[in-house]
Amino acid sequence: MRWILLLLGLNCGTVFAQHPHHEMRGGNPPAPFASEMDAGMDKMMRDMHAPGYTNNADVDFLAMMIPHHEGAVEMARLVLIHGRDPLTRKLAEEIIASQVVEIEGMKRRLAILRAKPSPEQGEFPALGGTRGPAQ
């Protein structure tokens, strides 16, 4: 499993490094949507790496996933401003609703883990049904 994650990480890093997201096409400045997306993604990457690593995988994961999800919310917000396709806009609304709930749950769990309780202390915050119907 680790080698799959490593391979995916290396591949994503290569694709990201090769993607000229600030490139102007035809000498024209980027459209407002592209500029705003680039700014949002730049902020997300800075925020994901700002805390640094603590050697606690659970804390590091949550500390990086929170800005990652905030980036998804920002992307969805921008498509609501600039997009026109009704189904894409509906998806963006659903992403915002679910990611906001997940962000709050991750923040609560991160606070618990940073307080250094036993791993059993506290429960995982409920996601309010964002992952499908209740069982």
Tell me the pTM: 0.69
d(CA 133, CA 120) in angstroms, rounded, equals 26
Domain count within the chain: 1
Inside any domain, residue 107: yes
Inside any domain, residue 1: no
Q: What is the pLDDT of residue 30?
A: 75
What does 34-93 look like in DSSP terms, one character per residue? Answer: HHHHHHHHHHHHHHHHTT---S-HHHHHHHHHHHHHHHHHHHHHHHHHH---HHHHHHHH
- Dig out the tokens for 59 from the structure: 């804390």
Task: Show pLDDT as tens, one digit a residue, over the chain (135 residues).
Answer: 444 444 445 444 444 444 445 455 556 667 999 999 999 999 999 999 999 999 999 999 999 999 999 999 999 999 999 999 999 999 999 999 999 999 999 999 999 998 876 666 666 665 555 555 444
Residues 41/21, Cβ–Cβ less than 8 Å:
yes
Q: What is the pLDDT of residue 126?
A: 57
Inside any domain, residue 130: no
Q: What is the pLDDT of residue 69?
A: 97
Q: What is the pLDDT of residue 116?
A: 76
The boundaries of the domain holding residue 78 are: 33-49+56-118
Inside any domain, residue 129: no
